[in-house]
A and B are shown apart, each in its own frame.
Chain A
């Protein structure tokens, strides 16, 4: 056990009183459990502790008149047991009951426990419908939010009709947190049964233009899947997405959406992925986005990982859409920054980006030859694998022998069976393609 662990366990009394982490004190039983788990030296010992805990909880839960407050703690202990792989089927019904009957925080824990214990096909889930419906109708926003969160974790296809109208209604709720969760609940419905939400695609478009950026950001998840499924139906939205991207990178969002100097980076990444799908193989759509992509390439912050993440996604998009030579050249230059970095993560992404660029800019790999060879010789296996893949795709009649030699030498040194079979496939394919 680490020194840090020892020191923190020594200050255990502070945790007991609930002074750190939350306003709720915990029972002696819970303290003992956590201390035991923390101090256990082996998986075997942990097993023993958990088995004891499971039988204690099983026996305890047969007692009548357990207060909601106490039940909440027992459920958290069950969550532990479940997490560590132990059967706690006996506890399911109690989680459901607490979600139904509990006050605010107990209800929340009840819902949490249900979503961790059960999956959507479990027969007990149906018992939750009434509870969720009641919570969706509640005037307490926290209840509504809990209900919507539970919908995302648990809903089965059979339950959709009973809940759809209420969830749809929440798209107009004055609070953005409710609208945001409602759109994710509808996303879940879409994933389970796309035909059931076909009539509300117009409403999704309205959410895309929601005055709140967080709600708009959440709606991008639906649009990503909708466009992936049917890109033609959404081509008319290309300009909308390009405009939203322009507003985001132009600093139109409030400061709390900024993460390490980058405005709403994960929203940017989603937008870029969507733009990539809309522009692929479509000249007109691509033309609508060249300007904003150019601006993104220029504006990308390169003193933090997240800036690189956005840059990488932008390069991916530029590569995927109808080719624009100036943009491609700029993207290729940016890839250079990834490859010259000392971070293996950035070099990995650089190699990946380079690989995806090959079909549109065949000469690009040649410019970065030296770095590519360095990556090949790096002891990091993840990096090696990506570089081998790049090499394979770079093969032409002039370099096939050199590249094959490289692939063969890696085949002889690796012990990873997945990689071995992958290399064998590649070498065989090259041998067939260039028989001499």
Chain B
């Protein structure tokens, strides 16, 4: 299962944080440590890292790092592609997403993720279906 999804920029600033488990008390310092470790990696190294008793899968897109924490049952490559699917879905909704899109539309960014992952499990990966409830809501409130 997925434990969390983090979006951070190259300076290590958090842009989105979704947890699927009740996080530990020192969430902020654990986050900082995870971010530091991922940002220190070189481009040609593995996108997977062992961290404490779980794993991290991360990928960089321009100025944003997507970091997903998973337990040992997950297929790391499938999670890496989950990240890519998230980016493609954001691209579809925001018309080529950039960091500021996420910052100005944090609620929408979270809502899109909520359609894709529930209970820390992958639920919907079909991009049209992910965006449907959000688009219907946008139209209804125009």
Interface residues of A, Cβ cutoff 8 Å to B: 1-2, 4-5, 8-9, 12, 15, 20-23, 26, 34, 37-38, 40, 43, 46, 76, 79-80, 83-85, 103-105, 108-109, 112, 116, 119-121, 142, 145, 149, 152-153, 177, 180-181, 184, 187-188, 191, 214, 217-218, 221, 256-257, 259, 264-267, 269-270, 273, 305-306, 308-310, 312-313, 316, 344-346, 348-349, 379-383, 385, 418
Contacts and interface: CB of A to CB of B under 8 A. Distances in A.
Interface in B12-42: 12-14, 16-18, 22, 27-28
Contacts of A265: 78, 81, 125
A46 B28 CA distance: 14
B19 to A, nearest CB: 9
A142 B137 contact: yes
Interface in B82-113: 82, 84-85, 94-95, 98-101, 103-108, 110-111
A38 B14 CA distance: 11
B14 to A, nearest CB: 6
A177 B141 CA distance: 20
Contact of A177 (B101, B106, B133): B133
Given A8-B100, A385-B50, A266 B122 contact: yes
Given A20-B101, A344-B46, A76 B77 contact: no
Contacts, number: 183
A207 B31 CA distance: 38
Contacts of A382: 45-46, 48-50
A120 B23 CA distance: 12
A2 B10 contact: yes
Q: Majority SS of interface residues in chain A?
A: helix
A345 B47 contact: yes
A79 B106 contact: yes
B104 A83 contact: no
A216 to B, nearest CB: 12
A358 B71 CA distance: 23
10 contacts: A79-B107, A119-B22, A149-B118, A214-B124, A221-B119, A259-B81, A266-B125, A273-B75, A312-B75, A380-B44
B81 A306 contact: yes
A123 to B, nearest CB: 15
A261 to B, nearest CB: 13
Contact of A37 (B13, B22, B108): B13
Contact of B22 (A120, A177, A380): A120
B10 A269 contact: no
Contact of B63 (A4, A23, A26, A105): A4
Interface string B119-139: 101111111110011001110
B119 A191 contact: yes
A303 B80 CA distance: 15
A34 B100 CA distance: 9
A427 to B, nearest CB: 19
Contact of A116 (B81, B95, B105, B110): B110
Interface string B2-16: 000000001111101
Contact of B121 (A104, A221, A380): A221
Contact of B27 (A85, A187, A217): A85
A388 to B, nearest CB: 12
Given A15-B104, A37-B103, A221-B121, A104 B81 contact: no
A179 to B, nearest CB: 12
Given A83-B14, A184-B118, A221-B119, A22 B108 contact: yes
A308 B103 contact: no
Contacts of B100: 8-9, 12, 15, 34, 38
Contact of B77 (A79, A108, A345, A381): A345
A85 B13 CA distance: 12
B13 A46 contact: yes
A115 to B, nearest CB: 8
A76 B133 contact: no
A181 B73 CA distance: 23
B114 A149 contact: yes
Contacts of A256: 126-129
Contact of B80 (A104, A184, A269, A305): A305
A85 B105 CA distance: 19
Contact of B46 (A26, A80, A108, A348): A348
Contacts of A34: 100, 103-104
A112 B76 contact: no
Given A38-B103, A83-B14, 6 more contacts: A20-B94, A153-B118, A218-B124, A265-B78, A382-B45, A382-B49
A153 B14 CA distance: 21
